Amino acid sequence: MPIVLPTVAATVYLAYRPIATYLVDYACFRPSPNCRFPRAALLEHAHMSTFLADSTINFIARVLEHSGLSDETCVPPALSYIEPYCSLDEARAEVELVVFSVVDDLLAKTRIDLDTIDILVTNCSVFSPVPSIADMIVSRYKLRGDLRVINLSGMGCSATVTAVGLARNILEVMPFGSQALVVSTETIGPNHYAGNNRSMQLVNILFRMGGAAVLLSSSRSKARFRLTHVVRTITASDDNAYRCVYQEEDDEGIKGANLSKNLMAIAGDALKANITAMGPLVLPTSELIKFLLVSLARKVFLGRRIRPYIPNFRTAFKHFCIHVGGPAVISSVQRGLNLSDEHVEPSRMTLHQFGNQSSASVWYELGYIEAKGRMLKGNRVWMIGFGAGYECNSAVWVCIRTCTSHGDHGPWASCIHRYPLDVQK
């Protein structure tokens, strides 16, 4: 009897305890030099366009000047023509170029058997072909017929965190040791805007090619990071937030994505809601007590002369991967979280070298940190993504194994020695 009770208790605990999710490895798309699209080329194409007004060209020039982008960013071949046009075949070719490349790189790094992949989750917001991008991967790599396949679209730049969270939820109900492949990208060719609405031209100026493939598992074996938290904040119930990033046609019937003038304010509100939910999960007790006391004092004295207390998230995280929506987005998050220039360095350098790569950008930032040799065992990483809806999504990772393959810096291999640079904020 003394042996039976502990045995039963241990069995119940093992049966109902949450199953951890681990990051085995990841790979990021490495654009070819022949896809390079310097800022001067973009501006030259604008001047030679028969559709763009002089005021639009001047706007493009002003935004480019403060965009934080280098001349190394890349676009798909369909956008390198003077009057870009992306057909269905060219859009598919862009997907295949990016997605198949990153999956090939990930398979080469992990050397896993394709039959051991149990879950496939893909995300691409603008381009949603039939068959889906997930089906394209299954067809290319001849994956198992009983694979759990999910294809996400229309969720914007925060979708990779959504995809990771979804894969984690499925892994928790799968047999121990199951593996999930998550592929994140954005196909920018089909969303090129050829009109004169300035809010819709921003997408052409900032967005560039990119993609990432991530292998998750419920087994710690060979894993490099452990996923500890995923927090999603969705504000679509508010009409202004819902239309903040909105795909539509302009007055001339030209399709594009409209970025609202209220974008920064709405993103700030979404971030506040997200960190309010994230704080109790990650902050030390001392920071939580300070926040609670200041909040109570503001209520008692109706906020008179008492500033809101911003918790010090630097006590909870060593590294930050903030979505590279643009210089203003990075600076806003830096001020809001009271971060140092070093904390936002991965974001600014990723924007400079690769541009806004939508949801995949946070993986390039993680790659930057590792390429610099700054990721050590025990370090915690906070991924923050913003996306249409409007959403602010967060994922928290803990490094459980320091990277030892210093010779492989992924997309940073040929340029990491040049960074960091003093880029304009």
Question: For residue 301, is pLDDT > 90?
Answer: no
Name the most confidently modeled range: 117-121, 249-253, 284-288. 117-121
C-alpha span between 366 and 123 (Å, rounded):
19
C-alpha span between 181 and 361 (Å, rounded):
17
Domains of the chain: 14-225 (3.40.47.10), 227-399 (3.40.47.10)
Work out the average pLDDT over 189-208.
Answer: 93
Predicted local confidence at residue 12, as pLDDT: 47
Strands 380-387 and 319-322: parallel
C-alpha span between 221 and 289 (Å, rounded):
38
Question: For residue 210, is pLDDT > 60?
Answer: yes
Confidence bin at 17 (pLDDT 50/70/90): low
Predicted local confidence at residue 83, as pLDDT: 87
Tell me, rounded to whole angstroms, the distance of Cα 31 from its chain centroid. 17
Predicted local confidence at residue 402, as pLDDT: 86
Work out the average pLDDT over 205-222.
Answer: 96
Predicted local confidence at residue 80, as pLDDT: 87
C-alpha span between 267 and 134 (Å, rounded):
30
Confidence bin at 7 (pLDDT 50/70/90): low
Confidence bin at 256 (pLDDT 50/70/90): very high
